[in-house]
């Protein structure tokens, strides 16, 4: 815990800057304080020149509007690698190919939506056309990639070269040489499209090869930081590989609404990872119980100009 022993005290006033606001959260309790801790921990990660910084993410973050937050973080060189679900990658591509998500509502007749060709993600709508365009466009790009066996991270790096949309997470990663690992990519439309294409081509993708690619880094680096959005493989994959290598995370920030009491990895309190030696005994960490769509942009927007002013 970074913020301890201080009296609880925060103030607000008209026309605050975002930085003034998040600075005030340093004097609060509960989630407000946790967010301020996350900003401070991220700054220390940025100051720690040895630290390899990874962002692991799961959940409907493209539908939630987080694309630009990812892209700004990547372009600011504040992250070295991402671990993403196939769904985040698929939805990033859908938007890159010109189909947008729309604000909708959560209480609605889903059978009627289906008839209208609208898919619902809680209170966000996606036209069915998104998946048709995704199939069409991705099948045009895949022949342009190296026609051999690739890891997801290799494939995604190559894929990024063929994306025109500057707000694409995949392209931003290729442009900045930021790695994307996707060990569970099989479970997504992108995974399915790649499998379809590989039926009649020499391009094969094997997610197991992302173990090779991430182990290359784990062996080389000695200090690590992990920012976890939502949970799942984005939380588990790096830490699991570090455990194998006898290394531990030095910084960890978690933003999720999942609960810890049923033992599932997504909601797991970060302290638990200390018993596994996945988190160093003296690591700086904080657990933020919040929807990513609110806490993640607050975190990144507060950091964007760090070390630049």
Which residues form the catalytic set? 278
Q: Contact letters (x/-) for a second copy, 276-295, by CB under 8 A?
A: xx---x-----x-xxxxxxx
* 261 belongs to the binding site for a second copy (CB under 8 A): yes
| Secondary element (H or E) of residue 112 | helix 110-116
**SS3 of 92, please?**
helix
Q: Is residue 278 a contact partner of residue 260, using CB atoms and an 8 Å limit?
A: no
Q: Does 122 bind a second copy (CB under 8 A)?
A: yes
In the set 40, 75, 104, 221, which binds a second copy (CB under 8 A)? 104
The piece of 32-40, 137-145, 155-163, 219-227 that touches a second copy (CB under 8 A) is 32-40
Among the listed residues 137, 72, 133, 57, the one whose alpha carbon sits nearest the alpha carbon of residue 100: 133
Answer for which of 47, 68, 77, 144 binds a second copy (CB under 8 A) is 68
Q: Does 177 bind a second copy (CB under 8 A)?
A: no
For 210-235, letters b (16+ CB in 10 Å) and e give: bbebbeebbeeeebbbbbbbbbbbbb
Counting contacts by CB under 8 A, is residue 164 touching a second copy?
no
Total residues at interface with a second copy (CB under 8 A) = 123
Rounded least distance, CB 140 to a second copy, Å: 19
What minimum distance in Å lies between the beta carbon of 48 and a second copy?
A: 21
Q: For residue 79, which phi and psi values (nearest 5 degrees)?
A: -145, 145
Give yes or no for residue 212 binding a second copy (CB under 8 A): yes
Asked if 55 and 82 count as a contact pair (C-beta separation under 8 A), the reply is yes
CA distance 64 to 295: 12
Question: What distance separates the 2 farthest-apart alpha carbons in the chain?
Answer: 66
Cβ-contact 134, 93 below 8 angstroms: yes
Please choose, out of 8-16, 45-53, 138-146, 172-180, the segment that lies near a second copy by the rule CB under 8 A: 8-16
Window of 117-125, 139-147, 171-179, 220-228 that interacts with a second copy by CB under 8 A: 117-125
């Amino acid at each position: 815990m970074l913020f301890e022993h201080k009296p609880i005290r925060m103030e607000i006033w008209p026309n605050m800057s975002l930085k003034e606001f998040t600075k005030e959260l340093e004097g609060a309790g509960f989630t407000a304080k946790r967010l301020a801790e996350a900003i401070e921990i991220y700054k220390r990660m940025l100051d720690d020149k040895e630290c390899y910084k990874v962002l692991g993410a799961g959940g409907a973050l493209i539908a939630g509007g987080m694309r630009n937050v990812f892209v700004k973080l990547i372009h600011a060189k504040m992250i070295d690698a991402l671990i993403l679900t196939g769904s985040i990658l698929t939805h990033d591509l859908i938007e890159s190919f010109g189909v947008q998500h729309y604000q909708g509502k959560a209480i609605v007749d889903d059978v009627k939506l289906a008839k209208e060709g609208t898919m619902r993600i809680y209170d966000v709508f996606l036209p069915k056309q998104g998946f048709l365009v995704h199939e069409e466009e991705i099948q045009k790009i895949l022949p342009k990639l190296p026609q051999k066996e690739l890891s997801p991270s290799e494939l995604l790096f190559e894929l990024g070269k063929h994306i025109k949309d500057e707000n694409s997470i995949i392209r931003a990663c290729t442009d900045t040489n930021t790695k994307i690992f996707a060990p569970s990519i099989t479970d997504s439309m992108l995974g399915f499209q790649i499998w379809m294409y590989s039926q009649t081509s020499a391009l094969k993708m094997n997610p197991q090869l992302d173990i090779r690619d991430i182990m290359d880094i784990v062996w080389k680096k000695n200090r690590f930081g992990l920012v976890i959005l939502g949970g799942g493989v984005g939380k588990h994959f790096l830490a699991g590989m570090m455990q194998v290598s006898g290394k531990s995370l030095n910084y960890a920030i978690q933003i999720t609404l999942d609960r810890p009491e049923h033992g599932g990895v997504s909601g797991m309190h970060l302290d638990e990872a200390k018993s596994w030696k996945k988190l160093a005994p003296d690591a700086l960490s904080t657990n933020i119980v919040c929807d990513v769509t609110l806490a993640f942009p607050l975190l990144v927007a507060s950091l964007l100009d760090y070390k630049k002013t």
